[in-house]
Chain A
Amino acid sequence: MTKIKKYFPFTRAGIMESVTYRANFLFFLLGEIMKCFVMFFVWKAVFDSSSQETLYGFSYDNMVVYLFISFLSGYITYSDGSYAIGKEILDGSVVMRMIKPIDFDMCFLFQELGNKIISFCLIFLPITAGVEIYRFVINGRLMLDIPMLLLFLLSMVLAYGINFYFNLSYGFLAFFLKNLWGTDIIKGAVVDFLSGATIPLAFMGGFGYVLQFLPFASLSYTPVMIYMGLYSPWQIAFYMSLQVIWLVIFALISKLVLKLAMKRLVVHGG
């Protein structure tokens, strides 16, 4: 416990940082959520254009829920440690972290948790409330399922963990890549697509089926499908175990990459 306690100040700093820049955060959020509203209308036209009620098992209402919940989970599980760490590595200030008697991935994790607490407070309630009201109006009854909501939250925590270690590993690659900005954009585009954040994996046929087993699906698709109640209990159990496996794998990979990177740093003479 005391071991973890020493990272609490980082969380506190993260919270204060988020509070200070809350206006910026909200404007940024409003800008980002615009994409959901664009797709809201596009999907409406798409379903209007189709002769069937559902496409690949999704009704229009499912699609709306999918859009906003995947935005929500994408936002909350997003981790930008890769960029922060990469920048510190490139400009050399990472040395300042290494000479302190703390694990530096833990510093990032706890600081980001501080940010996450605030962004969770600011966006979780409005978005889920909005989605639930929408579902209530459409179906005429409350669709919110508390156990599913809890499983969704747990699955989001796992997704955040995977995201954190995935990005950490990527950030450590800055030791070798030297370029972050461009590769970061590439990474973002690829992950968005493969994780089902832009369009449900179900729409991609056999390819989408394969994607469900890859770590990308664990980042976004799994929690959203759980929230929507589109997974059976067996599927939930299976895909959440898969999340745990990916979490462990990426935690190990990040340790390995860090080790390799450290060697490299020493060779360069710090």
Chain B
Amino acid sequence: MRKYLRLHRIFVAQDLKKLMEYKVDFLMGAIGFVLVQAVKILTLGIIFSAIPALVYKVNGEVLDAWTFNEVLFIYGFSLIPKGVDHLLFDNLWGMGYWVVAKGDFDKYLTRPVNSWFYVLTEKFCVDAFGDLFVGIVLVAYSVFSMPAEIAADINWLRLIPVAFVLPFAIMIYTSIKTGTAAISFWTKRSGHITHMCYMTNEFASYPAKIYNNVVKTIITYILPFALTAYYPAIYILRGESPWSLAVTVGVSVALFLLSQLIWKLGIRAYESAGS
């Protein structure tokens, strides 16, 4: 493990150096990512200007409601595990889009290191700072501007279990990317499958209760992005559904093992390219 960390450090240093070299590119990219989020938040703001709070109604009966601050908190929180995965493990995208198709995966197999770890350590994606920045700012802003009666529900001790669960939440992103990227070992290209599964994370940015049962099941157990955002966030805010933290750990480990299995089998099926 220490070996991988030492390796990773070399690549991180390299990517940071490159960042300094192409300052404008980095700045434009980061501004871009921030703007994409800004537009979404602006949209949320416009929506909320028309309503007092977002409610969950069944048969006309209000079962739950979230204020603008709470929705912002959930939204901002969702960007944190997503951003960390993006920062550290972005190299997996290339696998399904071109690495396997062009036969470039060969080089990962001729080295005496775990090929999956090797792919992960090779890149440090600085663009992710845009997402992380927005996420942290939103979380902080939503807490500080919160009406006192809502803020009173927050118990900061709940951050301790959430901090423990956070790596598992990140792992959900990484495992979904790994499993779908490994499909390319059979099909040559699978980047679009990764894209499709990854986009499901859009559901995670809002309270999971507003979705119907099909969507709720998918985002909790199959492509469990809700476990990376809504559940831990609402737990911090209200202490609601503490069980979800255990589910996050369990589902994350299961997904991780599954993605590793697909990866292992995939390597056996790998056909390289040309002759």
Contact = CB atoms under 8 A, between A and B. Distances in A.
A37 B57 CA distance: 18
Interface of B: 24-33, 35-36, 38-40, 42-43, 46-47, 50-57, 65, 189, 191-193, 195-200, 202-203, 205-207, 210-212, 215
A186 B50 CA distance: 28
Highest count of chain A CB atoms <10 Å: which of B36, B42, B205: B36
B97 to A, nearest CB: 10
Contact of B35 (A25, A32, A186): A186
Contact of A185 (B24, B32, B46, B202): B32
Interface string A171-182: 000000011011
Chain A: interface secondary structure?
A: helix
Interface residues of A, number: 39
Contact of A45 (B43, B52, B196, B210): B210
Given A186-B31, A188-B36, A189-B35, A48 B55 contact: yes
A162 B208 CA distance: 39
22 contacts: A24-B191, A27-B193, A28-B192, A28-B195, A30-B196, A31-B192, A31-B195, A42-B206, A44-B210, A45-B55, A46-B54, A49-B51, A49-B52, A56-B50, A181-B25, A184-B32, A186-B31, A188-B32, A193-B43, A198-B40, A199-B43, A199-B46
A178 B22 CA distance: 11
B39 A193 contact: yes
Contacts of B32: 182-186, 188-189
A108 B221 CA distance: 44
B216 to A, nearest CB: 10
Contacts of B210: 41-42, 44-45
B53 A41 contact: no
A202 to B, nearest CB: 11
Given A27-B193, A45-B210, A55-B50, A198 B39 contact: yes
A183 to B, nearest CB: 6
A264 interface: no
Interface of A: 23-25, 27-28, 30-32, 34-35, 37-38, 41-42, 44-46, 48-50, 55-56, 178-179, 181-186, 188-190, 192-193, 198-199, 203-204
B190 to A, nearest CB: 9
A35 B42 contact: no
B50 A50 contact: yes
B38 A189 contact: yes
